[in-house]
Structure formats: C-alpha cells, structure tokens
Structure 1
Amino acid sequence: MKKRWLWFVVIVLIMIPVVSVITLNKERIGMKPVVEAKAVVLMDLNTGRVLFSQNGDVPLPPASMSKLMAELIVLDEIKAGTHSWDEKVMISEYASSVSGVQLSLNKGDVLTVRELFQSMAVYSANDAAVALAEHFAGSEENFVRHMNQKAKKLQLSSGSYFANVSDIQTDPKELSGSQVHERETRMTALDTAKLAAYLINHHPDILDTSSKTQMRLQGRDLYLSNTNWMLPSLAGPYSYEGTDGLKTGFTENAGYCFTGTAAKGGSRLVAVVMGTKSEEARFEETRKLFDYGFSKILTWRERLDDWFHV
C-alpha cells in the first residue's frame, strides 16, 4: 500500500511541471490564445483568411492606426506620379498647432514629403500628418473625404469612418469651420487588418519605412525612434523575429493599439490589437497572436507535405 502511494506521489510530481509547460506555451502549440484586449484580429496575408477574431467587427476608436489610410493615399499619389518624395511642404499655422505626438513644427518651416511621411509612419507625428493632408488635398477636410472614399472602394464596413487625419479626439465645441467633422473616427479590427493587408500588397515598400528603428530629420538635430517595440533590430524584450511593421496608436479613448505584421517561412501575418491597458500589453498580446498563427500555418504545411508524400 505504501509503495502504491509513493508511486502516486512521484507521478503527480512529474506531471505538475509538464502541465505547467503545456499551459504556458499553449499559443506555441496551436491552441487558441487568450487575448486581453477590446478587439483583435489575426489574418494570413497570403490567403486573406482570418485565423482568429475577438470582437473583430466592433467599431472602436483606432488611435493613430487610422494613419494607415493616410499612408495609403500618399503612396497611391506618389505611385501615380502626381506628387514626388522631394516636394517641399511649407507648414501652415493649423498644422503647427495640432496637439498630441508631434515634431513641434513651426509655421513657415519647410520639409520634404519624404520627411513628413516617415515622421508620420515611424513616429506617428500628428503635425506631419496634417501637413501632408493639406499639401496633397488642399485641406485636412478634403483629405479626410478622400480617406472615406478610399474606404468604400476597399469595401471596408460601414463601421469604419475617418473624421480627421491625426485621430486626435477634440471637443467639437472647441472647433469651428472646416475643422468640424460629423463624428469621431472609428474602425473595426477586421477593417484595420484588411487595410493593412491592402497597403502591404500594393505598396510593399511601406515595410522599408515601418521597419526603421530611427530616422533623422535633415537640417535638424532631431532623431525620431520607432514606437514599434517588436522590431528585431531593437533587440528588446518585446522583439519578435520577422516583424517589420506596421503602426502603433494611443489615445485615452482608444487605449493602446497596434497593427503588427511579421513574416516567417514564406508566410506573413497581420495582427490587429485594439484597446489594451498598457503600452507593453499591446505587444505581448500581438506575440500571442503571431505564435498561434505561425504554429497553425506550419501545422497545415506539415499535413500537406504528408499528403503529397503518401
């Protein structure tokens, strides 16, 4: 009897660490992750298939992830030849007054389209975004109209709507004239993933910009660091192999948000995480999605290999 009891104790002691390892690494072995965020979507860019969704169709404030649409419009115009990267842009009084993350530009400052674009994409500068909108469309209001028209062309849902280019949420009572918009910017996680996928597929060079760890504005002693802590080149605790984009965001209403993309073994994933409670959490939750997605894709490939080798 004592021997049986001893063997039972030994088996329990062996199983406890095994169960713990399985629990801690469940995302890595293909089990659906438990993600703590208001909404998330994971998409296989190669197939367009949604691998995971949690409140993916719920309209939420996207913070600066809405700038992905601004990036798309600028890149479309550059590709069409209607504008060029070396064009000079004079900063208006309105652009210099935009709040939030900014370059502290002054009225009359002159920067190139390339400098403003990289500042918007890498550093999420709101004054740079507004300056580009005014340069490309004459006013922020006209540019926002293009953003919403593009959303319809991409067949994004009616739950996604752009109110401005910076996504700064301002009390309408403090605005006047052309600055007043119908409603606040809202996007669903699924629409954000679709937008990111379209952007990458049609302008793959965006990844050359979004993967920059740092950029310097010419003629200024100013260095801008990328807010995407998952970039491998940063070699930090949140770095993830294969990550090369795409856009972070934060406002009080939105919480911490991130649209990330990573490539591994010929596959590319897009993950959208909206509304985490901390800056670090948005990257931790994205890691869970990437681990799950790549594990799932590798499992599919192994099965296909087995079928074809029968």
Structure 2
Amino acid sequence: MMHSIGRYSQQMDFHRSILEYRFDETLKAGLAGRLPFEKEESHFAPEPSVACGIRADDTGDEFGVIYLQRSERLLVFAAAHAERASAAAVFKSAFPELSAHEIPATFKGGPLVDSPAPMNLPPPALEIPSALWRFELPGMILFFVVVIGSQYLAHAFQEPVMQWLGLHGGSPGDEPPWYFITRDFAEGICSAGALLLCVLVAVVAWRWWPSYAVMMVWMPLMWHGGNIGRSWIIYQACPGLLDGQRITTRWLTSQSYTYDHDIAGAKTLGSVSGFLLAIVLSLVSYHVRRRLARRSARREMEGSAL
C-alpha cells in the first residue's frame, strides 16, 4: 500500500529517475485518490509541473512523482540511496494500471527545485533533453531562416518592384514628396509578399513545430503590417500611381506625409495586431495540441484494453 507524504521537496537528480509514463488529465483523474498532486505548479522541471510524495507502507520506500504538464509525462523518482530496480518493482506493483503507458526514460534535464541544495553539493545544471533538442532544432532553424530571410527579401526586392511598376523619379527635396511615397509604396508591396511567404511556411510547419509556426505568423505581422497598411493608404491617396501619372496626391509637403495620422495609425495597428495574434494563436495551438494528445492517449488505452 502507498500513502501520501505531502509535498515532495527533496533535492533530486533527474538522471536517477526510475520510471517514466505517458500521462494525461484522464489518467490523472483516475489516479487522483492515490496520487494527490499538488494544485500549485512546482519548480522541479523547466516546464509547468505538479508533484507529490508517496511512501510504501510495507517496504518504507519513498517516491517522488512529478507530472510534466506540457509534455504530459509522469516521472517517478526513488529515494537517493534506494536500489533502483527494487524501487521500480515496488512502484509497479502498487500501480499496475500504469504499466501499459510506460516508456523508456528520455527526460535528462536537471531539476529546478524550490528547496535549498545541500551545502556540499552544487545545484544541478540545467540540461536540454537530447531527444527534445534534436526534434526542436530543425524547427528553430526553419524559424530563423524564414523570418530573417523574409526581411532580407522584402528589402532586396524593393528596387526590382520599383522598376517593374515604373515608380522611379523625383528627389528627396521635391514637393510633393514623390521620392518617399513611391519607395514606401514599393516597400509595402514587398512586405506583403514576405508576410505571405511566412504564413505559407507556417501552415506547412505547424504539424511538426507549432510553437515556431505561430511565431512565424505574428512576428512578421508586427514588422510588415505597418508597411502594408501604409502602402494601401498611399494607393488610395495617389490616383494614377500605377499608371505612371504621378500627378495628384493629398500630401503636398514632406512634413504632411511624414506626420500623416492615418499612416501612423496603420503602423500602430500592425504592431497591436501582431501582439494580439500572438496571444490568440498561442492559446489555439495549446488547446489543439492538448486535445490531440488526449485523443491519442485515449486510443492507446482502448487498444491496450482490447
């Protein structure tokens, strides 16, 4: 028999974990009476987690059990000087229903504990799980290549777009300020293309790297959204701009163009939209991944029951 010993707050070495299970809210609810997890998040792992401590009445073995909420893993630790194989056998005999969800131990990150380390031992260093790192590295590289590359392409294609649309002409001192108007218009077109590229790559990459895919949408929107809005305002305010007839514009001076309230509002709207989209997409991605994980765990449970 096992009984709770309250909050488990001893110093632990994640390399000494003896068991690891696939875990989710369904299993957690089923074991709530026997594994009373703390409601508040603990600091044992570099991700949201809850922990509990239990003791075997017959053997006296103590176990620390940590539920990693983001990766939905259950990690089991024995006391520091326990024989690992014997302790694992004790825990498995007490919770045989978990055997169908056991997986090889892959979590190799150092704990971030909320209790002080012994005076003679340095705090364990935080390590990145090698398997997780190998999976996340391609997504990280893709994110930086796409986001930085889109910025470079938006700048590199500005001159070709101006040549293609016949937007050259004028000097910085001219009134009306066609020099700035035409260049900003071309920059907005290039920014729209860069944003579209980021969104398309994000749609493809979401299946494997949802976190980076989300950032590939909202970050370019913050950078390019204002330029796109400014380009649309210029198109509305300068009839004949694309026909080579730069005759009329509502900005008669450089100052009136530089301090135009509509353009300033478009830039602000682009930044705010990117920020709000970051929150919305992150929440959507989180709930979708949790739903898929629960569905997968439910199917595995049904399959093991058969």
What TM-score comes out, normalization by structure 2 length?
0.22
Instruction: Looking at secondary structure, tell me which structure has more strand per residue.
Output: 1
What TM-score comes out, normalization by structure 1 length?
0.22
Instruction: Looking at secondary structure, tell me which structure has more helix per residue.
Output: 2
